[in-house]
Amino acid sequence: MAKQIFVNLPVKDLQKSIQFFTQLGYSFNKEFTDDKAGCMVISEAIYVMLLVEPFFKTFTNNGICDTSRHTECINCLSADSREDVDAVVAKAVALGATTPKAPQDHGIMYGHGFTDLDGHHWEYMFMEPDAAN
């Protein structure tokens, strides 16, 4: 059986975050979305739970990362082409995201990313199909 992953991220304004990611093309599972959490669907096996900060804090005894000063993680997703990488980053920036670094071109692999409204780092990468074999 294939495993699923649920990435949990704290957000300050859930509705703004849902709007941001909806405009990037992601959908939300309404069954697991309410005023405390939004279940963003990446694929049949990958979900991102956007949790308002007070609700997020109920899952941990640690503090929430100050993303203006620290990187908690880098969420990296694959893309179908270099153009798709550039398009999603450009769209995210138009919606208020920032880019922490310039695009990275390693020949067989190309990537670029953005920092979302809450400072979470997202990377999109394309790998030449022959390189993965």
Residues 35-72: pLDDT tens digits? Answer: 999 999 999 999 999 999 999 999 999 999 999 999 99
Fold designation for 65-133: 2,3-Dihydroxybiphenyl 1,2-Dioxygenase; domain 1 (3.10.180)
Domains 1-61 and 65-133 are alike in CATH topology: yes
Question: CA 55, CA 36: separation in Å to the nearest integer?
Answer: 6
Give, in words, the CATH class of 1-61: alpha beta
For the chain, domain boundaries: 1-61, 65-133
Residue 132 has pLDDT above 70, yes or no: no
Question: CA 126, CA 105: separation in Å to the nearest integer?
Answer: 10
Contact of 104 with 111, CB cutoff 8 Å: yes
Q: Report the predicted TM-score, pTM, of the whole model to 2 decimal places.
A: 0.91
Q: Using one digit for the tens of pLDDT, what is the confidence trace for 94-117?
A: 999 999 999 999 999 999 999 999
